[in-house]
Chains A and B, each alone.
Chain A
């Protein structure tokens, strides 16, 4: 085992953990003040809920011994056999527990992303039940297919840090959420204006910072590939923030703070699958694409009329899809090569994995939403929604007068 690699992966795990409360702040600032606590609470409590579910059962379903390319076995149930040495783990250089806890933080943030789609109208109990089921039924198989020696890995799909496992999966679920939950009361007629953009920008900054752990840590070693991922992550975020505000200037007249923050996040999403497979200059192009395509994606939401409150589909769906395709175009290092480096077949593999990801995650999420809706109930009542979720779900007010 390698001490430097172990230290690095642990620190990266902590960085990724920080992203989930950061996401809570990013989302929290964008909702109306009567819903700020409920929004933050969803992200915050997910750290607790998913961590336990992951440790007990999620880890083994994702990374246990492969069963038919579909799912992991139960060898690591209750973290049995996951110890302080590398034994049983996928790599030799870090303890098995280190890999588990690093992956835990990815499992935590992925369902938290979905909360943005159903913000301002979801019941707390329904959210807890749905999240638990979604982790086991959608996230764990996806993680297994891509990273756990499942069928997508066998097919050769490239996803360095989770463009499919994290971003496309949560975006597909977000889309399913809008179908089942419907629009917020007053959507389209009343103005829903972000109540605390300073909070949102703080959240975006925490996400950018944490993403270094997300992408560089996915090298699972303190080596050149980790450094490369760190650099590509940073440059993509930077390029995307600039691209987004440029789009804003051209389209609606002024660059905005929300646009800069959103652009940076879009770039980070786009580079996620590519970070360890592309070099710095292509990363800039990937970031530019992320900013442009995600901005257009958000405009599309307005035209299609579905209520994805905080643009999970526009940012994570479009960004993750672009990132997966861009990986097929620009991959050039780490035993990977894309279309622009003489290997057109990678692009087809990427497209296949994109299609399969959207199809599976959307369908499975739709079924889960309907199931939870029919049993526990998903949507807050009209009166609860009007009063605000902070009061109706948690008996709290975010800001005392």
Chain B
């Protein structure tokens, strides 16, 4: 089992959700994060004082899937999220040791 972490532009959330749903991924965890890579920040001005804000707000989507599905998830998410501009973000794939469905106690692939 693997966790696929998709960090990308906030307005792409709905597109990604739809794209993942189309390949059968019905569950995900979403959080709002801040970060920067190559995309620069922006300037804010308050009472004449300029502040350079480096961090850009992004959305992080996490899905846990069986190993066999990882490639499909990456393909679907990339297609939905890509704009071609700096700031599209990154996808990370991490190994997951165990998954438990709390209601039933199922573990492993059955719980994903």
Chain A residues close to B by CB (< 8 Å): 191, 193-194, 248, 251-254, 256, 258-259, 262, 295, 298-299, 302, 311
* Alpha-carbon distance A258/B50, docked complex (angstroms): 13
CB neighbours (8 Å) of A194 from chain B are: 46
* Alpha-carbon distance A248/B50, docked complex (angstroms): 12
Task: Check if B47 sits within 8 Å of A254, measured CB to CB.
Answer: no
CB neighbours (8 Å) of A248 from chain B are: 45, 48
Task: Check if B45 sits within 8 Å of A254, measured CB to CB.
Answer: yes
CB neighbours (8 Å) of B45 from chain A are: 248, 252-254, 256
Task: Check if B50 sits within 8 Å of A193, measured CB to CB.
Answer: no
Question: Which of A193, A262, A299 is close to B44, meaning CB atoms less than 8 Å apart?
Answer: A193
Judged by a CB distance under 8 angstroms, whether B86 is at the interface is: no
Task: Check if A295 sits within 8 Å of B46, measured CB to CB.
Answer: no
CB neighbours (8 Å) of B44 from chain A are: 193
Judged by a CB distance under 8 angstroms, whether B102 is at the interface is: no
Top 10 closest A-B pairs, CB basis?
A191-B51, A252-B45, A299-B48, A298-B47, A258-B46, A298-B48, A194-B46, A193-B51, A302-B49, A258-B47
CB neighbours (8 Å) of A311 from chain B are: 47
Task: Check if B51 sits within 8 Å of A252, measured CB to CB.
Answer: no
Judged by a CB distance under 8 angstroms, whether B53 is at the interface is: yes
CB neighbours (8 Å) of B53 from chain A are: 191, 193
* Alpha-carbon distance A52/B50, docked complex (angstroms): 42
Query: Nearest B residue to A197 by beta-carbon distance?
Result: B46
Task: Check if B46 sits within 8 Å of A251, measured CB to CB.
Answer: no
CB neighbours (8 Å) of B47 from chain A are: 258-259, 262, 298, 311
Given contacts A248-B45, A248-B48, A299-B48, 16 further A-B contacts (CB under 8 A): A191-B51, A193-B44, A193-B46, A252-B45, A252-B48, A252-B50, A253-B45, A254-B45, A256-B45, A256-B46, A259-B47, A262-B47, A295-B48, A298-B47, A302-B49, A311-B47
Contact with A along B26-49 (1 / 0, CB 8 A): 000000000000000000111111
Query: Nearest A residue to B45 by beta-carbon distance?
Result: A252
* A interface majority secondary structure: helix
CB neighbours (8 Å) of A253 from chain B are: 45
Shortest beta-carbon distance from B57 to chain A in Å:
14
Shortest beta-carbon distance from B36 to chain A in Å:
15
Shortest beta-carbon distance from A266 to chain B in Å:
11
Query: Nearest A residue to B54 by beta-carbon distance?
Result: A191
CB neighbours (8 Å) of A251 from chain B are: 48
* Alpha-carbon distance A298/B48, docked complex (angstroms): 8
* Alpha-carbon distance A298/B47, docked complex (angstroms): 7
> Can you spell out 6 A-B residue pairs with CB atoms less than 8 angstroms apart?
A191-B52, A193-B53, A262-B47, A298-B47, A299-B48, A302-B48
CB neighbours (8 Å) of B49 from chain A are: 302
* Alpha-carbon distance A299/B44, docked complex (angstroms): 16
Query: By CB atoms of chain A within 10 A, which of B47, B49, B51, B53 has the most?
Result: B47
* Alpha-carbon distance A262/B46, docked complex (angstroms): 11
Query: By CB atoms of chain B within 10 A, which of A191, A258, A262 has the most?
Result: A191
Query: Nearest B residue to A190 by beta-carbon distance?
Result: B51
CB neighbours (8 Å) of A191 from chain B are: 51-53
CB neighbours (8 Å) of A298 from chain B are: 47-48
Query: Nearest A residue to B52 by beta-carbon distance?
Result: A191
Query: By CB atoms of chain A within 10 A, which of B44, B45, B48 has the most?
Result: B48
Query: Nearest B residue to A296 by beta-carbon distance?
Result: B48
* Alpha-carbon distance A7/B51, docked complex (angstroms): 49
CB neighbours (8 Å) of B46 from chain A are: 193-194, 256, 258
Query: Nearest A residue to B48 by beta-carbon distance?
Result: A299
Shortest beta-carbon distance from B25 to chain A in Å:
28
* Alpha-carbon distance A101/B50, docked complex (angstroms): 43
CB neighbours (8 Å) of B48 from chain A are: 248, 251-252, 295, 298-299, 302
* Alpha-carbon distance A311/B47, docked complex (angstroms): 9
* Alpha-carbon distance A258/B45, docked complex (angstroms): 9
Shortest beta-carbon distance from B103 to chain A in Å:
26
* Alpha-carbon distance A262/B48, docked complex (angstroms): 11
Shortest beta-carbon distance from B90 to chain A in Å:
26
Shortest beta-carbon distance from A295 to chain B in Å:
7
Contact with A along B44-78 (1 / 0, CB 8 A): 11111111110000000000000000000000000
CB neighbours (8 Å) of B52 from chain A are: 191
CB neighbours (8 Å) of A258 from chain B are: 46-47
CB neighbours (8 Å) of B50 from chain A are: 252
